[in-house]
Structure 1
Amino acid sequence: MALAENPRRSLIPSFLYAPPSPSRGLTAGASPAAAPSFAASAVGKRRSFVVQSPSKPGRKIEMYSPAFYAACTARGILSCGLTHMAVTPLDLVKCNMQIDPSKYKSITSGFGVLLKEQGVRGFFRGWVPTLLGYSAQGACKFGFYEFFKKYYSDIAGPEYASKYKTLIYLAGSASAEVIADVALCPFEAVKVRVQTQPGFARGLSDGFPKFFKSEGALGYV
């Protein structure tokens, strides 16, 4: 019986499992009095479901604890913010090709036009809103995904969380993505304006108030 249950239980994290019933913990000839201690040991094992802390290898982070969500958020910032900032030149050419295709005819010619008109520094115009905007998006995407995944699984209960795991994870991912994109919108709006409208602003610090003045708060979304 135990072998038949293992594949099903391996589909989802152990926090979704209800403590085993006392009857499962009894061996042949064992008395029912041994059941409570078995259930207690099962709960104890469930609470020890932890991962190693990346900053302190000797320290462990408990799953779905505040430290766990903080670690997910930090990884989202690093993975999204830094990678999008690194491709700022390519994103800059892409945005200008969309705005003025007659001038920026291709990626190659677009880089040539930018180099001629703005120099090498022009390739990184808008890198600050890119870094901050996608850092916010990554933080919300990674952190809220783990939060909603557990939240929806708790609502469904152990049985349905196992049966509909894919749908629950999709719902958690979609919920996190909505929040992440809303967090990105203000930065993205300013970034595109800075990159495609020369003279509008130097960057985020002066671009934000100028954008608010011209478009209002709704312009950010």
Structure 2
Amino acid sequence: MASEDVVGKRSESAVTTIVNLAEEAKMASEGVKAPSHAAIFSVCKSLAAGGIAGGVSRTAVAPLERLKILLQVQNSHSIKYNGTVQGLKYIWRTEGLRGMFKGNGTNCARIVPNSAVKFFSYEEASKGILWFYRQQTGNEDAELTPLLRLGAGACAGIIAMSATYPMDLVRGRITVQTDKSPSQYRGIFHALRTVFVEEGPRALYKGWLPSVIGVIPYVGLNFAVYESLKDWLVKTRPFGLAQDTELSVMTKLGCGAVAGTIGQTVAYPLDVIRRRMQMGGWKNAASVVIGDGKTNAPVEYSGMVDAFRKTVRHEGVGALYKGLVPNSVKVVPSIAIAFVSYEVVKDILGVEMRISD
């Protein structure tokens, strides 16, 4: 009997151990899978919010975006576009409604992934920088400073711009070409293939360096100013603009507008040089792209410094700000709409993390 009791107790113990191990394995398995799926779903929703925000904001200002590029690259000795109002009227008269939105499909194909990567990269870079900053200072309650936000925004801008740069190049070329251009790009993939075959793979990254340099103050200042201005409004509550920790949509639009104005003004000359380097050497755009005033042929640039030098020598310092007016009119609502759209879509999708978080 004693022997049977011992065997029985051992059997019960073994069964209990097996059941416990099974339960632990199940819990461990569920504990790993649930957060993993939740994290992936959250990332997808965050990327979707950024992409939608980019597409909505860029489509809203597509005519001004096209006019800006045409002003940036037009030959100063054969002027077609002479200001914002005249330029828009000329496009409408010569090309109609389709002309106003030419290149917008390509632009959205570029800006949707670009915006998705940019917003997501900013959030991830902000979390990483904040963690490192708290480790260095030993203050677990420390918050991001404007300078650290500038760094996070710069990282996000460089990553997003580099990932989608070939799309930006062909978007610019499709936007610039007209019905009178000797040869036509029939679409995004045709343009990518044509540039790759006729000009080589390096041509897909023409103007990349000034883009990298320009994106640091542009995107960096956009995020830094937007977030810092929101924080200041929440803490000080001037003119009753903030209720508790929430800002109205109109107030957020105002923050985005201020951020966009500061960022684009600082980085604009680099944007002009980037666009001209992208068009340089494109033989089928001779009637549109800047020339030397004698042959009316597109100018070749050996690099960023050479592009600056030739632009200033042929057209003066003012050429570095060609298209600034339509860009200013465009960038203010564009940046504002992008930020607000992003936060609204994240609210709709139920993403808990906000940019400030």
Same fold (TM over 0.5): yes
| 1:79 is the counterpart of 2:156 | yes
Q: Which amino acid is 1:205 matched to?
A: V
Q: Which amino acid is 2:318 matched to?
A: L
Give 2:198's aligned residue. 117
Please give the alpha-carbon distance, in whole angstroms, between the structure 2 residues aligned to 1:193 and 1:144.
29
Give 2:312's aligned residue. 212
Contact residue 207 and residue 304 of structure 2 kept, 8 A: yes
Name the Cα RMSD after superposition.
2.5
Please give the alpha-carbon distance, in whole angstroms, between the structure 2 residues aligned to 1:193 and 1:160.
42
Q: Which amino acid is 1:81 matched to?
A: I
Shift of the 84–162 alpha-carbon distance from structure 1 to 2, 3 Å rule, reads same
Shift of the 57–111 alpha-carbon distance from structure 1 to 2, 3 Å rule, reads same
State which structure, 1 or 2, has the greater radius of gyration over its C-alpha atoms: 2
SS at match of 1:104: coil
Please give the alpha-carbon distance, in whole angstroms, between the structure 1 residues aligned to 2:147 and 2:211.
22
Regions of 4+ moved over 3 Å: 59-63, 150-153
Give 2:279's aligned residue. 196
Contact residue 134 and residue 184 of structure 1 kept, 8 A: yes
Please give the alpha-carbon distance, in whole angstroms, between the structure 2 residues aligned to 1:169 and 1:128.
32
Please give the alpha-carbon distance, in whole angstroms, between the structure 2 residues aligned to 1:151 and 1:215.
42
1:212 Cα deviation from its structure 2 partner: 2.0
- Once the two structures are aligned, what percentage of the paired residues are identical? 20
Shift of the 203–104 alpha-carbon distance from structure 1 to 2, 3 Å rule, reads farther
Please give the alpha-carbon distance, in whole angstroms, between the structure 2 residues aligned to 1:132 and 1:55.
25
Please give the alpha-carbon distance, in whole angstroms, between the structure 1 residues aligned to 2:185 and 2:149.
39
1:56 Cα deviation from its structure 2 partner: 4.4
User: Superposed, which structure 2 residues align to 1:108-187 within 5 Å?
Assistant: 108-153=189-234, 154=236, 156=238, 160-162=241-243, 165-166=247-248, 167-187=250-270
Contact residue 158 and residue 215 of structure 2 kept, 8 A: yes
Q: Which amino acid is 1:90 matched to?
A: M
1:151 Cα deviation from its structure 2 partner: 4.1
Report how many aligned residue pairs link the two structures: 167
1:160 Cα deviation from its structure 2 partner: 4.2
Q: Which amino acid is 2:187 matched to?
A: S
User: Superposed, which structure 2 residues align to 1:15-26 within 5 Å?
Assistant: none
SS at match of 2:159: helix
Contact residue 221 and residue 263 of structure 2 kept, 8 A: yes
Deviations 1:87-112 (A, max 9, x none): 11111111111223543221122122
| 1:107 is the counterpart of 2:184 | no
1:69 Cα deviation from its structure 2 partner: 1.0
Q: Could you list the runs of 5+ residues in structure 2 that have no partner in the other structure?
A: 1-126, 282-298, 322-357
Shift of the 54–208 alpha-carbon distance from structure 1 to 2, 3 Å rule, reads farther
Please give the alpha-carbon distance, in whole angstroms, between the structure 2 residues aligned to 1:54 and 1:200.
46
Q: Could you list the runs of 5+ residues in structure 1 that have no partner in the other structure?
A: 1-50
Please give the alpha-carbon distance, in whole angstroms, between the structure 2 residues aligned to 1:165 and 1:141.
18
* Structure number with higher relative contact order (C-alpha < 8 Å, ≥ 6 residues apart): 2
Please give the alpha-carbon distance, in whole angstroms, between the structure 2 residues aligned to 1:90 and 1:160.
40
Contact residue 193 and residue 200 of structure 1 kept, 8 A: no
Contact residue 76 and residue 141 of structure 1 kept, 8 A: yes
Q: Which amino acid is 1:108 matched to?
A: F
